[in-house]
A and B are shown apart, each in its own frame.
Chain A
Amino acid sequence: MLTLLAKLLKALNSETGAWALAFAFVLGMMIGFTPFWRVHNVLILLFALIFRVNLSAFIVSFLVCTGIAYLLDPVFHSVGSAWLSSESWRGVWEGMYSSPWWRITQFHHSITLGSLVISLALAPFVAVGSYFIVVNYRLRIQKWFLKLKIVQALRANKFWAIYSDLRG
């Protein structure tokens, strides 16, 4: 875990593209918020591995968002149930339900649909927000951050050793 955090910090402090990090956070969030054993997560994984998305940020985002998902499950369930119960959408759901391909996506599961919808809705904001934070971190926060006494103290421990090793 420390290695993973060190890698993330290294990525933040390196010249890795800010968008690569931002997309990593978005994809990690989506796979973290939605139930793991779903077809769309295979696609997200494929996307994260094929494109130059920062994998450390992706994994950290996934782990953090999985934890948050436990708190948000009631919200996901409510949103998914409300949509799946909507009479105006019934025809659409029935059409999809009768198709084996759509059934594989498990769209008719309240938490799956709710979490996916909320993830997609949050994706642009998380992407832009992450990009903004990464850029500003590099411009302003990084130097100030490294001067903090607590960071100075940390630099003397194991975590910093791992980080230094990674930097080569």
Chain B
Amino acid sequence: MTKQLRQSTIRWPGVGAFFIIIALLVGFSFLLLDTIIKWTLESSLGTLNRAEVNIESVAHGWVPLSLTVSGVQVTDPAQPENNRVVVNELRGDLDLGELLVGRVIFDQLNVTGIRVNQPRRSPGEVYTQLTKDEVSQAASERWASLKMELPSMDDVMAQVDLQTDIVIERAKTNLDEQKQKLKQTRDALPSSEQLAEYETKVKELLDGDIESATELAARREQLEALKARFRADRDSVKAFKTQVETAKEIVQSDISALRQAPEEDLQKIKSFMSFDATGLENITALIFGEQIRSWSKYVLLAYEQLAPMLQRADDNTEQGPLRGEGVWFTFMEANAPPEFLVRNAVTEFAFGETILDVNWQNITHQHTQLGQPTTFQARADNSAIWDSFNLTGEMALKDNGFDARQQWQLKGAKLNDIGLSDRAEFMATMAATLLDSEGSVAVRNGLLDGDASVRLAELKINASGDSRWAELLSQALGKLNRLDIRTEIGGELTAPTLSLNSDLDRQLGDALRSTATDAAQTKLATLQQDLTAQVNAVIADQSPELAGLVDLEGLASSKDAKLEDLLKSQLEDKLKDKLKDRLLKKIGGG
């Protein structure tokens, strides 16, 4: 206790120790500053990218304050075995005055050797994304939809419900049915003898002498009774005529159906032998999709790479549970200058040996504070691999979301040995072509909307495969000289979707369908002969029946006419005249 009282509250050696510790920390940090910056950049860029980011080295300079970052590899979260972007070197000059007040302002940033979609030595770590299997599976499913075999004749026959047999059966049944009905109505017809008897009776009634008015009345009564029977018989004749007409129509219709049935069945078989149309619709996307998707990474680079990073940089709600991460909140006033700004930047994209410089202005995630959008332009004419290229665009992250637009024109790009498919079942390479493309794409509320045309001229495609369909596809592709592909760009900013269509779908579809039909031509001819023979046999049976029906129709008409004549018979005037003569004779004689 006594010892404690003698001690001062201040531990003076501690002051020295403090400064030594601080000096050591500062010295340590100073010596390892580049490594610390490298780790920090890898960590923060990795978080923004949602997948591993590797940096080869970082170097800083004090006068002027600058930073040089070399060998940047940004893993593609969708394809961890690939880098979405590789940057050879990034060098920026920092504004020291702004840095002291907490703002990172680059007056000039130069980025060289940018390449997209490059393979990695080993797959990068993905923090949140589709697994490789899922991506691979999706690709396999797309090819599986096309990888179909030519259907055999037997397969088709098993699936096709042939109509010829049914039509033959129906014709036979109809004929029997009509024959039965005709027989019933024919039995009710007055016979020829009966008609002759009617004529005799009518003649007797009209031609005999009449003695009195009473006899006249009796004959009239008999004639009326006969006419009633004529009418009944005429109704039977009419019913028969109607039945004959119906039967004739049905038989004619059946014969017509019989004649058409074999052809219709053959057409149906041919249509069954063609490929599934939905599979064919994707041929353009299947063959050229991966390559165009790869090219689109250049076109959409500004959106796909930079925009999501800027958005996430501005996102205060993102959770960061790891030690030391957390969330950095921003409390900027509306008129405050942005905290991060690259006033001017030149990004140098490498396409093989050709270099394309893209000039940027005002790269930031705080466009509201800046009051201007980020703009970019690139123009390069008469380069080694194209005749002309022009790209302009702008983008801004505003309160209501990401807003951007860009347009481009590319003419005369010379492409050689571009791999289209390296699958074992179907290998395809675009040996040479001249590519023109133009289009525009905009972003509203994080959604892409745009279209582009890709015109391939002087096209030469080498393709091969073991299966029959691959062989057919290869032949059809080999004949292509020119192809126009229309591309629609849509989907979310972070996951753009491309839909491709071209005349290729129709060309290949027709070729494949025709080949499939040709392969079965012999069997089809045999089938056609069989069906025609069956039908002809039935038609041979039906034709006399049809002729008989025509005869019956004539018979019915003649009976109808005869009954009509009988019904027209008039008793009154003739008999009245006879009776009048007799009475006059009696009066004159008396």
Q: Is the CB of B10 within 8 A of A51?
A: yes
Q: B18 touching A98 by the CB < 8 A rule? A: no
Q: Which B residue's beta carbon lies closest to that of A83?
A: B329
**Set A15, A98, A110: member contacting B326, Cβ < 8 A:** A110
Q: Is A138 an interface residue (CB 8 A)?
A: no
In the complex, the answer to whether B331 meets A93 with C-beta atoms within 8 Å is yes
Residues from chain A with Cβ under 8 Å of B328 in the complex: 108-110
Q: Are B323 and A100 in contact (CB under 8 A)?
A: no
Q: In the complex, which residues of chain A have a beta carbon less than 8 angstroms from the beta carbon of B3?
A: 15
Most buried by B among A49, A69, A73, A84: A49
| In the assembled complex, B322 has its CB within 8 A of some CB on chain A | yes
A112 touches B326 (CB 8 A): yes
User: How many Å lie between the Cα of A15 and that of B21 in the bound state?
Assistant: 28
Return the chain A residue nearest B17 by Cβ: A49
Asked whether A77 and B15 contact (CB < 8 A) given A93-B331, A98-B333, the answer is no
Q: Which residues of B contact A76 (CB under 8 A)?
A: 326
Number of interface residues of B (CB under 8 A): 34
Q: Could you tell me the distance between the alpha carbons of A158 and B239 in the complex, rounded to whole angstroms? A: 128
Interface class of chain A by DSSP: helix
Chain B 63-104 interface 0/1 with A at a Cβ cutoff of 8 Å (1 = within): 000000000000000000000000000000000000011100
Cα distance A68–B100 in the bound complex, in angstroms = 34
Which A residues touch B333, using CB under 8 A? 94, 98
B547 at the A interface (CB under 8 A) = no
In the assembled complex, B400 has its CB within 8 A of some CB on chain A: no
Contacting B at CB under 8 A, from A51-110, are 51-52, 69-70, 73-74, 76-77, 80-81, 84-85, 90, 93-94, 96-98, 100, 103, 108-110
The residues of A that contact B589 with a CB separation of less than 8 Å are none
- The reply on A154 being an interface residue by CB < 8 A is no
| B residues 286-324 touching A (CB-CB < 8 Å) | 316, 319-324
Give the distance to chain B from A102, nearest Cβ to Cβ, in Å.
10
Docked complex: A7-40 residues within 8 A CB-CB of B: 15, 17, 35
Q: Contacts of A81 on B, CB cut-off 8 Å? A: 327, 329
**A134: Cβ under 8 A from any B Cβ:** no
Give which listed residue, A45, A74, A108, contacts B330 with CB less than 8 A.
A108
Distance A50 CA – B16 CA, assembled complex (angstroms)? 9
A6 at the interface (CB under 8 A from B): no
8 Å CB interface, B1-47 against A: 1, 3-4, 7-11, 14-15, 17-18, 21-22
Q: Are A42 and B336 in contact (CB under 8 A)?
A: no
A84 to B8 alpha-carbon distance, docked (Å): 41
Q: With A15-B4, A94-B333, A112-B326 as given contacts, are A73 and B321 in contact (CB-CB < 8 Å)?
A: yes
For residue A111, CB closer than 8 A to chain B, the reply is yes
Residue contact B320 to A15, C-beta cutoff 8 Å: no
- Interface residue? B495 (CB, 8 A): no
| Complex: chain B residue closest to A107, CB-CB | B329
A46 within 8 A of B: yes
Write the nearest CB–CB distance from B315 to chain A, whole angstroms.
Answer: 13
Contacts of A74 in B (CB 8 A): 321
B102–A103 touching, CB < 8 Å: yes
Please provide the chain B residues from 379 to 437 with a CB less than 8 Å away from any CB of chain A in the complex.
Answer: none
- Interface hits, B160-211 → A, CB 8 Å: none
**How far does the alpha carbon of A74 sit from the alpha carbon of B326 in the complex, in Å?**
9
**Listed residue (B1, B8, B322, B331) with the most chain A CB atoms within 10 angstroms of its CB:** B331
Taken together as a complex, chains A and B put the C-alpha atoms of A14 and B9 apart, in Å, by 18
**What is the chain B residue whose CB lies nearest that of A37?**
B324
CB pair B11–A80 under 8 Å, yes or no, is no
Report the nearest A residue to B12, measured CB to CB.
A50
Q: Is B527 an interface residue (CB 8 A)?
A: no
The 8 closest A-B pairs by CB, nearest first: A49-B14, A111-B326, A97-B331, A110-B326, A103-B102, A94-B331, A108-B329, A93-B331
Q: List chain B positions with a Cβ less than 8 A from chain A.
A: 1, 3-4, 7-11, 14-15, 17-18, 21-22, 100-102, 316, 319-333, 336
9 extra interface residue pairs, beta carbon distance < 8 Å, beyond A35-B323, A108-B329: A15-B1, A45-B18, A49-B18, A50-B11, A77-B321, A93-B329, A96-B331, A108-B330, A110-B327
7 interchain pairs, CB-CB under 8 A: A45-B18, A45-B21, A51-B11, A73-B323, A90-B331, A94-B332, A110-B327
